[in-house]
Amino acid sequence: MKDRLSIIIGSFLYVVLLTWTYIFLINPSAEYFGFTFNSNIPIAFFIVFITLAILPSLWLPIRYNRVSQILIWLIYILVYIPTCLVPMVTINVPLEFLLLFVLCLLISLSILQAFNHLPLLPILRLPLSLRSFWFVFLLISFVIYIYIINTFGIKFQMVSLFDVYDIREQYKDALRTDGLVGYAINWASRICNGVLFVFGLYRRNILLLILGLFGWFLLFSITGFKSVVFYPVLLFICKYLFEVRTKNLFKYLIWGICSGISICIIIEILFDFSALRILFIQREIIINGLLTGYFYEYFSQNPKALLGYSILKDIVTYPYSDTPSNLIGNVYFGSLGTTQANVNIWADGYSNFGHLGIIGSTIITGIYFWIYDSLTKNYNLPVRSLLIIIPSLSLISSGILTALFTYGLVFMLIICWLLPNIYSKENKVKNG
C-alpha cells in the first residue's frame, strides 16, 4: 500500500511538472513550432484529462518480475501521459471526441497490462553452445557492418550534438538510393551493438564493450542520430536500476524522472540554459503528445491511410502521395517532406484504421511482449531487460510493424531464441 501510494503521488507530480513546464517554458519559447496553448479549455475537461493521466498508476505493476512491465511503464510515462496533457491545449477538435480517443488509449494500456497475467508459453529453443552462438551472432553483425561500410565508407567525425543536420541530410540522401541500408543501420545500432555492450557489462569483457562503443560511434558519424550517443548511458542507468532497485523499480523510475525534470527546470531558471529542457523534456516527452494529437486531428477529419503505403498497397487505394509521417510533417511543420513526424504505435494505428487500429496495434504489441517474456523466462531478469530496452524505444517513435521489422524487434526475438541457457537466472552471467 505504501509503495502504491508513492507511485500515485509520483505520477501526479510528473503530470504537474510536465504541465508547468509546457505552460511556462515550452509554450513561450516554441509556440512557432506548434507548442501552442489554448487557455480557454473548460476547467472540467482539464480536470478530467489530468485524472485520466494519473488513473493507470492505480493498477500498473509495482513489483518487477517480467520485462514487459518495464515496457508498459515506459509507454505510460512517455506516450500516454503526454497524450492526455498536450493535445487538449494544442489541436482543434471537439474535446468530447478527444476524450473518447484518450479513453481508447486507457483501454489499450489496460490490454497491455492484461497480457502480464497470461501464463508464459513453453517455447522450444535451438540447442546452441555458447561458442556457436557467438560465432553466429558475430558473423551476422559482421555482414551487417560490411553492408553499411560498403554504402557509406568508414567515417569518424567528431561532431557536436547540436550540429548534426548536414550529416543527417547526407544519410537521408543515401537512403533514397538504397532503402535497405536503413534496416542495417537500425539493426546494428539497436541490436548488434546493444547485445555486445550488455554482455560486455555482465561478463566484464572489455573487448565486447569497446566493440559496442566503436559501433555506436561509427553509426553516429554516419547518421548524426543523437540517440545513438545516449544508448550506452541509458544502459548503464538501467543496469543500476534493474539490479539495485529491483524491489521498487517503478517507484524509483517515476520519481527519478520527476527529479530529472526538476533539475532541467532549475538549471534553466537559474542559468538561462534551456538545452537540457529542450533535449530531454521537449523532444523526448512532450513531442510525443503533440505529434499524437496532430495525427488524431488530421486523420479524424481525413481518410484513414489503411496501410496503403505499406503492406496493403496492392489491395487498397491510398489517398495520399506520401507516407503518414511525411504527410503530417508537411501539413503541420511545412517541411515539404524533409521532416518525418515519427509517432508511436497508437497514433500510427489510428492513422491507419481509427480506434480499431489502436486496439489492433495494442494486441500485436501485447503478443510480442508475451512471446519475449516467454522466450527469455529462464534468463537473468536484468539481462533480458537490458537486451530489449533499446529496441523497444521504437514503440514510442514508430508503428508496430515498423518497430517489429525495420527497428529489429523480430531480430531480437531470433537472437534470444539462439542465446544458450548459460545466461539463465540460475547462473552468474559473468562466468558465462
| 16 and 113 belong to one structural domain | yes
**308 domain-assigned:** no
Q: Is residue 336 part of a domain?
A: no
Shared-domain flag, residues 114 and 254? yes
pLDDT score recorded for residue 128: 86
**What is the C-alpha to C-alpha distance for residues 384 and 311, in angstroms, rounded to an integer?**
31
Distance CA 253, CA 238 (A): 10
Quick one: DSSP state of residue 56?
G
With respect to residue 282, please indicate whether it lies within any of the assigned structural domains: yes
Tell me, yes or no, whether 222 lies in a domain. Answer: yes
Q: Does the pLDDT at position 394 exceed 80? A: yes
Domain count across the chain: 2
End position of a domain, from candidates 255, 276, 301: 301
- 317 inside domain: no
- pLDDT surpasses 60 at 336: no
**pLDDT tens digits for 341-359?**
899 999 999 999 999 999 9
pLDDT (0 to 100) of residue 338 = 53
Is the domain of 106 the same as that of 193? no
Structural domain range at position 388: 124-244+376-432
| Arithmetic mean of pLDDT over the chain | 92
Secondary structure of the chain as H, E, C letters: CHHHHHHHHHHHHHHHHHHHHHHHHHHHHHHHHCCCCCCCCCHHHHHHHHHHHHHHHHCCCCCCCCHHHHHHHHHHHHHHHHHHHCHHHCCCCCHHHHHHHHHHHHHHHHHHHHHCCCCCCCCCCCCCCHHHHHHHHHHHHHHHHHHHHHHHCCCCCCCCCCCCHHHHHHHHHHHHHCCHHHHHHHHHHHHHHHHHHHHHHHHCCHHHHHHHHHHHHHHHHHHCCHHHHHHHHHHHHHHHHHHHCCCCHHHHHHHHHHHHHHHHHHHHHHHCCCHHHHHHHHHHHHHHHHHHHHHHHHHHHCCCCCCCCCCCCCCCCCCCCCCHHHHHHHHHHCCCCCCCCCCCHHHHHHHHHHHHHHHHHHHHHHHHHHHHHHHCCCECHHHHHHHHHHHHCHHHHCCHHHHHHHCCHHHHHHHHHHCCHHHECCCCHHHC
Closest C-alpha to 188, from 163, 233, 234, 221:
221
Q: Are residues 279 and 427 in the same domain?
A: no
Most confident of 151-160, 164-173, 378-387: 378-387
pLDDT of 253 strictly over 60 = yes
Judgement on whether residues 190 and 165 belong to the same structural domain of the protein = yes
Based on the domain organization, do 181 and 235 belong to the same domain? yes
Cα–Cα distance for residue pair 313/237, rounded to 1 Å:
42
β-strand partners of 424: 379
Please tell me whether residues 21 and 105 are part of one structural domain. yes
For residue 314, being part of any structural domain is answered with no
The one-letter code for the residue type at 316 is: V
Position 297 scores a pLDDT of 98
Give me the residues paired with residue 379 across strands.
424
**What's the pLDDT tens digit per position in 45-55?**
999 999 999 99
CA distances from residue 390 to 187, 397, 407, 413 in whole angstroms, order as listed: 11, 12, 10, 14
104 and 142 assigned to the same domain: no
The pLDDT value recorded for residue 158 is 64
Q: What confidence category does residue 334 fall into, taking pLDDT thresholds of 50, 70 and 90?
A: confident
CA atoms within 13 A on the CB side of 197: 28
**Residue 311 located in a structural domain:** no
**Is residue 370 situated within a structural domain?**
no
87 and 166 both lie in a single domain: no
* End position of a domain, from candidates 277, 301, 325: 301
